[in-house]
Amino acid sequence: MLKTSLRNYAGLAFCGLLLSAWPVAAQGPQGSGVKDAGDLADARPDNPSPRGTVQSAALADRTDVTWRQLPKNFLHDQKDLWLFPIKLGEGKHLLPFSLVTVATAALIATDPQTTPHFRQADSFQDTSRALGGTTSGAVIAAVPATFYLVGLLRKNHYDQATSLFAGEAVADDAILMVVLKAITRRDRPSDRPVNGPYNDTFFSGRAGSFGKSSSFPSGHAMMSFSVATVFARRYRQHKWVPWVAYGAAALISFSRVTTGAHFPSEIVLGGALGFAIARYDVLHGH
């Protein structure tokens, strides 16, 4: 009975995530057919003035993107991402960086103790199979693609731009993920016996295949939380969208632990990286 319920829940989450494209895309950012960047800025729910002050414009999310702009934006994203240590050296972003670092380090220290419990828990197995690596990857790709198709059919530029922002964030995630995996070369939990040991997992995996065989961090967590953040930000006037977006991202990420693909620490770090890249690199602008 429990296994059936978990399977149904995973199926409903998948279907709900895809079907949510239609009511949101139909209404646009405020229930209107927003067309140009100026109208998009005016339609933002947190914009108190017709064009906004200089300060609010500096803090506001980017509102528009096109296919032609994507390559340039991606290069800007990569520049900001890899120059981030300079920002830290200047004393910027120290608090969030420290919180994420401490949390990840604490979870890495407890991974050997927590991982056997997740791998041995039968109650999670149906959910894990329903949201395996291929399926969850398909969900991550299908949501922006569906929104783009619906936006194209409805000639809603806001929905098309949202999908492009999500794709830009996923591309940024992929570059960082590949580099980190190639450097850390951490064994996956599934590379070890179910009961462990799970110690000394770093720098022992294979460095080939552009780091795909490495475990640290979780690419699924990065990409699912990036896509969730883009949609949660762009459609936050619909109160249910952030709940569905982040709930689906959390479910996908958790399934990577129960399948033995990742340690809990890698899920937390991946989610934090995916959120930060989408929120402060892709959407916040340059």
pTM of the predicted structure, to 2 decimals: 0.77
Model confidence pLDDT, tens digit, residues 52-91: 443 444 457 788 899 999 999 999 999 999 999 998 888 8
Model confidence pLDDT, tens digit, residues 243-270: 999 999 998 888 888 888 899 999 999 9
Q: What's the pLDDT at 127?
A: 56
Model confidence pLDDT, tens digit, residues 205-241: 654 444 457 889 999 999 999 999 999 999 999 999 9
SS (H, E, C) 37-72: HHHHHHHCCCCCCCCCCHHHHHHCCCCCCCCCCHHH
**Residue 45: exposed, middle, or buried by beta-carbon count in 10 A (0-12, 13-18, 19+)?**
exposed
Q: Can you tell me the distance from the alpha carbon of 252 to that of 222, in angstroms, rounded to the nearest whole number?
A: 11
Q: Check whether 120 has a pLDDT greater than 80.
A: no
How many CB atoms neighbour CB 188 within 10 A?
19
Q: What's the pLDDT at 254?
A: 87
Structural domains of the chain in order of their starting residue, each with its CATH number: 2-25+66-282 (1.20.144)
